[in-house]
A = this chain, B = another copy of it.
């Protein structure tokens, strides 16, 4: 069964988990051993990951983990800003009552996590909120793009969540998004999401 699929998923997960450093070389033979697979499978996985933008390859030289600098992270976030804006708008337009209540619940948990100073918990809730919005929006193309961009951002996302005091700011931005969706106000939802990601971009620029 699907040997190359398994390698692809394992390798992608390992990269996303941060097990490889940026610009680290990915030698095919080593990966073969590490994942107990043939070069064939490894090669296919590398090609797929290149398309995902997680790996870069040079002909006759090999593959390495793509390094995503701050400037590129900002560009990615700018695209996310508008595409997640679209998602928020659609979510506001399509949410049913149960879905709206689910979002509101996440909002309450967020406030609680911030009050308790639970950083990891908050970061988790953040992911759940965005995922819920994507699910409610049911916009396949937009979701695909966000997923791809998200993969390239994991490292910086992590750095952001470690920034002290960040959650105290963003929790109100998240609340604004939730309120807009609950009120079924598409314009407001898009604007709130944009404002939220604008602040992410600012924080990103402040990191270096």
Contacts and interface: CB of A to CB of B under 8 A. Distances in A.
A201 to B, nearest CB: 13
A79 B80 CA distance: 11
A140 B142 CA distance: 18
B145 A145 contact: yes
Given A48-B47, A79-B83, A59 B2 contact: yes
- Chain A interface size, under 10 / 10 to 19 / 20 to 34 / 35 or more: 20 to 34
Contacts of A78: 86, 139, 141-142
Nearest to A53: B144
A75 interface: yes
A118 interface: no
A48 to B, nearest CB: 7
A78 B75 CA distance: 20
Contact of A79 (B72, B142, B149): B142
A87 to B, nearest CB: 10
A76 interface: yes
Contacts of A145: 79, 145
19 contacts: A44-B47, A48-B51, A72-B141, A75-B140, A75-B141, A75-B142, A76-B141, A78-B86, A78-B139, A78-B141, A78-B142, A79-B83, A79-B86, A79-B141, A79-B142, A79-B145, A81-B86, A82-B85, A82-B86
Interface of A: 2, 44, 47-48, 51-52, 59, 72, 75-76, 78-79, 81-83, 85-86, 139-142, 145, 149
